[in-house]
């Protein structure tokens, strides 16, 4: 090969190298896509904002450490949408559910079993409330329980003190002024479900095999509803108790009878003082355990986190869920929402920082041996609706407490899976 031919080959090779380099420089670089998990939640307004802030913090500060980011989506009608997504195999990686939804989805085999997670640092009753057939399907995010809320100004105007017993409450049917009641056993709308708890009753019991059976007509439940009939329904105008609840348009509005000063005493959850401040800023609210036949009775419920069984990024969803439930993060959420932490231990200044001076009342109630949660039944939503329907019949004196609860028992007891 001549020198001229060698030089020509070298020139061609140089041109090819430079050309290929130029070509690849012009071609857009394809970077590996960053892993992202999808988290569906259903809070809105002041409850949603602190959760959004925590997700933003995770994405900015911790995403590199964990190797993924979180996409937070707010949904309405969560039960329907989550079930449809699961059925279509397009479920998110992490979901925000209430306790009843956890039971429903778990019984449909739609949630991931997370029983291997150490739950020793959580308040025990909320862990038990999220177990189904002995398996853990969710972890508590924001717990609550029922306590007595009192409009102090209305009580002062009436010249009476905070009720300390059921006998005190039984005197409270008297009308303070036109359209104003000291206490109405038909408010809030779930009062009929709650009141048997203060008599030591419950709506179901767990069997040795882990399933539940209905106990609607237990002696304690009958005693509670009978007490309402004898001390209230029979002494007020026919239908007045039942129609009281129906006369108000929306719970979260100034039309709520407690916020509007139409009733001075109610049972409600940890959210209530914050809502009362929003809708009735001048109201002075005192909170105490609801009086009952047992000490510190309460009905607990909980917002929870769960991983759909068809989730695509289960490991990452679990990592993010445990990050959210670290003490500093979950306390930040609890303080912003004016609620309490699901953890047994809280930081030294948690109660000092809290906007609700009565927040420890709820924590003590949640740890009470007389705290109960609604039974984990496959027909939980229908059962709750039926309880309200039968309680309304009791309030209207259409049925005795025993007749209503016997009918309720007969309707649902046969649905217990044998």
Dist CA 339 CA 351 (whole Å): 11
Q: Are 80 and 46 in contact (CB under 8 A)?
A: no
Of 29-43, 136-150, 155-169, 216-230, minimum mean pLDDT range: 29-43
Judged against a pLDDT cut of 60, whether residue 14 lies above it is answered with no
Dist CA 341 CA 327 (whole Å): 8
Judged against a pLDDT cut of 90, whether residue 332 lies above it is answered with yes
Q: What is the mean pLDDT of residues 185-195?
A: 94
pLDDT band at 155 (very low <50, low <70, confident <90, very high): confident
- The CATH number for 146-299+374-413, chosen from 1.10.357.10, 3.40.190.10, 3.30.1330.60, 3.50.50.60, is 3.40.190.10
Dist CA 293 CA 148 (whole Å): 15
Judged against a pLDDT cut of 90, whether residue 175 lies above it is answered with no
Which ranges in the chain are annotated with CATH 3.40.190.10? 36-144+301-371, 146-299+374-413
Helix (H, G, I), strand (E, B) or coil at 321: helix
Q: To the nearest 10°, the Cα dihedral for 60, 78, 210, 119?
A: 10
Dist CA 398 CA 104 (whole Å): 32
pLDDT digits (tens, 9 = 90+) for 195-246: 999 999 999 998 888 889 999 999 999 999 999 999 999 888 877 787 777 7
| H or E, element range at 181 | strand 180-183
Q: What is the 3-state secondary structure (H, E, C) of 145-160?
A: ECEEEEEHHHHHHHCC
Dist CA 335 CA 53 (whole Å): 13
pTM of full prediction above 0.85: yes
- Is residue 166 exposed (0-12), middle (13-18) or buried (19+ Cβ within 10 Å)? middle
- The CATH number for 36-144+301-371, chosen from 3.40.50.1980, 3.40.50.12240, 3.40.190.170, 3.40.190.10, is 3.40.190.10
What is the 8-class DSSP label of residue 41?
Answer: E
Helix (H, G, I), strand (E, B) or coil at 372: strand
């Amino acid at each position: 090969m001549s020198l001229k031919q060698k030089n020509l080959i070298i020139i061609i090779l140089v041109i090819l190298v430079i050309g290929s380099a130029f070509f690849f420089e012009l071609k857009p670089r394809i970077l590996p896509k960053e892993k992202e998990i999808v988290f569906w939640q259903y809070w809105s307004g002041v409850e949603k904002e602190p959760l959004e802030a925590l997700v933003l913090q995770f994405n900015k500060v911790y995403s590199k450490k964990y190797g993924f980011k979180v996409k937070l989506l707010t949904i309405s009608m969560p039960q329907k949408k989550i079930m449809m997504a699961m059925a279509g195999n397009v479920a998110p990686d992490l979901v925000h559910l209430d306790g009843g939804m956890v039971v429903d989805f778990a019984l449909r085999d739609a949630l991931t079993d997370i029983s291997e997670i150490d739950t020793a640092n959580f308040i025990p009753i909320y862990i038990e409330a999220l177990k189904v057939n002995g398996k853990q399907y969710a972890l508590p995010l924001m717990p609550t329980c029922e306590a007595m809320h009192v409009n102090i100004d209305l009580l002062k105007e009436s010249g009476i003190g905070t009720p300390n017993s059921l006998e005190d409450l039984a005197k409270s049917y008297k009308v303070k002024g036109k359209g104003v009641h000291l206490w109405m056993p038909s408010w809030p709308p779930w009062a009929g479900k709650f009141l048997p708890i203060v008599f030591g009753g419950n709506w179901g019991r767990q069997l040795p095999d882990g399933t539940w059976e209905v106990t609607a007509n237990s002696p304690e439940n009958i005693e509670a509803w009978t007490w309402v009939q004898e001390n209230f329904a029979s002494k007020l105008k026919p239908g007045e108790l039942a129609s009281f609840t129906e006369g108000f348009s929306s719970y979260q509005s100034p039309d709520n009878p407690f916020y509007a000063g139409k009733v001075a005493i109610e049972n409600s959850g940890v959210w209530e003082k914050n809502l009362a401040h929003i809708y009735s800023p001048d109201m002075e609210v005192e909170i105490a355990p609801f009086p009952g036949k047992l000490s510190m009775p309460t009905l607990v419920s909980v917002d929870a986190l769960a991983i759909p069984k068809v989730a695509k990024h289960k490991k990452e969803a679990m990592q993010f869920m445990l990050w959210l439930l670290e003490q500093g993060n979950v306390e930040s959420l609890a303080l912003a929402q004016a609620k309490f932490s699901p953890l047994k231990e809280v930081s030294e200044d948690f109660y000092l920082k809290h906007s609700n001076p009565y927040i420890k009342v709820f924590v003590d109630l949640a740890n009470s041996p007389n705290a109960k949660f609604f039974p984990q039944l496959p027909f939980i939503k229908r059962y709750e609706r039926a309880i309200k329907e039968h309680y309304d019949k009791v309030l209207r004196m259409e049925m005795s407490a025993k007749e209503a609860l016997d009918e309720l028992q007969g309707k649902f007891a046969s649905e217990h899976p044998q």
